[in-house]
Amino acid sequence: MTTTSTVVNARLDAPVVPSRWTKFRFFVLRLPILQLSVLLALILWLVISIPAFVNRLSIVSVLILAALLALAALGQTFVVLIGGLDLAIPGYIIVGAFISSNLAGGAGWPIPLALLMTVVICGLVGAFVGFVSHRYNVQPLVLTLGINAALVGGTLFVAKANFTSAPPDALRALTAINGTTFGLPIPPILLIVLAAVVLVWLFLTRTASGRRLYATGTNARAAELTRVHTGKVWTLTFATSGITAGIAGMFIASFSAGWSANIGEPYFFTGLAAVLLGGTTFGSIHGSYTRTVLGALILTLLSTIVLSVGMSESESRIIYGFVVIAAAFLYGRERHVRNRF
């Protein structure tokens, strides 16, 4: 008995060398392989079914649409990571759209002032949401639903339903399809989102604050006991969500050369869909902004295809719905208890 057990011990104590397959699996799980392949498939489909699509203007306009969606969903990515949900995205968007159209465009405010105004208003409202839902244990779902209604109503009240203005040309140039950056034929909005991708990636993987955000999302109680100020994390995260959605609103109004009462509406559902489709899950360490951007690209391509084959709005919504349900099936499944030990 003793001899056999010694042999067993030796085997158990030997360092486990991960096989090539294990390494490969790890790699696949870490990288959004699935999202990339879906994206490639959609691109192929689009190119084959509509060869005329392959021209600079169409490609750039799809990229801009995806960039606007990705920008609107930036904060939502963080919010989902800490296990919350921000329903007030359309509210922030309409605030940004109003400020850029009526104040910067109509009333002639300087653009930096308009930007500052958007950041301050949306940031404060978001901070309020994060603080209150953490401090008083209010469901952010309910709170942001109310905040959204108040923001939309408040903006329309202040604007006196005046939708005649559009953002100034300088702002519109940032999102123009034929826009250029430092002489390069790339609209600035694309570079802005690209820069955001890099910054967020650095933030989440390389900074202490990023670690605290993940810690708060995965186990808020343990995070608090490990000296993470979870209240601060919630407040700042929701503030970020407000700020990025507000700025996205400025750009969305610039791209569509004006605004309307329901300019932000599509961006809540599609934005959240982009986050989830990218593979970010509620309150977990599985998620990143890169994934959200991929999700935004997939959804934008999907809607382009849906429109090009002549489907109606209601039909395209059905497709969206099924795509999100499929994403939920793939990623909603956490490891089953029986696979833990």
Partner 1 sequence: MEKRGQPLLQMAKIEKNFGATRALVEANIELFPGDVHTLLGENGSGKSTLVKILGGVHQPDSGKILLDGADLTLRSPRGASHYGIETVFQEVLTASHQSVLQNIWLGSDGIFRRRFKTATQRQQATEVLERLLGDAQLDVPAAELSLSARQAVSIARSLVRRPRVLILDEATAALDVQTRDRLFNEIRRLTAQGSAVLFISHRMDEVAEISDRVTVLRSGQTISTVTRETMTISGLIQDMTGSKVSPEESFKPPREPGKVVLQARDIQLAEQATKINVDIRAGEIIGLCGLEGHGQDLFIRRLSGFAGGPGSVSRLEVEQNNSATPVGRRNAAGLGVAYLPRERRGESLFEQMSIQENFVLPTMRQDKIGPFLSRKRMAARFREYIQSLSIKLGSPDDSITTLSGGNQQKVLLARWLATEPSVLLLNDPTRGVDISTKLEIYRTLQDLALQGTAIVVLSSEVDEIVQLTDRALVFRDKTVFAELAGKDLHQQSIVTAYFGQEMEVQYE
**Sequence-ordered list of residues with C-beta below 8 angstroms from that of 287, at least 6 positions apart, any chain:** 77, 80, 81, 275, 278, 279, 280, 281
The piece of 145-153, 167-175, 218-226, 315-323 that touches partner 1 (CB under 8 A) is 218-226
Collapsing DSSP to helix, strand or coil, 31 comes out as coil
Shorter beta-carbon distance to partner 1: residue 228 or 299:
228
Collapsing DSSP to helix, strand or coil, 181 comes out as strand
b/e per residue, 33-49, with b = 16+ CB within 10 A? Answer: ebbeebbeebbeebeee
57 lies in the site for partner 1, by CB under 8 A: no
Shorter beta-carbon distance to partner 1: residue 177 or 229:
229
The binder of partner 1 chosen from 48, 57, 161, 208 (CB under 8 A): 208
CA–CA separation, 1 vs 20, rounded Å?
Answer: 35
Q: Considering the complex, what minimum distance in angstroms separates the CB of residue 160 from partner 1?
A: 45
250: nearest Cα among 107, 144, 112:
112
**Side-chain-facing half-sphere of 52: CA atoms under 13 Å:** 2
Shorter beta-carbon distance to partner 1: residue 177 or 285:
285
CA–CA separation, 148 vs 116, rounded Å?
Answer: 21
Shorter beta-carbon distance to partner 1: residue 18 or 110:
18
Q: Considering the complex, what minimum distance in angstroms separates the CB of residue 133 from partner 1?
A: 20
Collapsing DSSP to helix, strand or coil, 340 comes out as coil
The binder of partner 1 chosen from 15, 112, 183, 310 (CB under 8 A): 15
The binder of partner 1 chosen from 3, 11, 108, 183 (CB under 8 A): 11
Binding residues for partner 1 (CB under 8 A)? 1, 4-5, 8-9, 11-12, 15-16, 18, 22, 202, 206-208, 211-212, 214-215, 218-219, 221-229, 284-286, 337-341
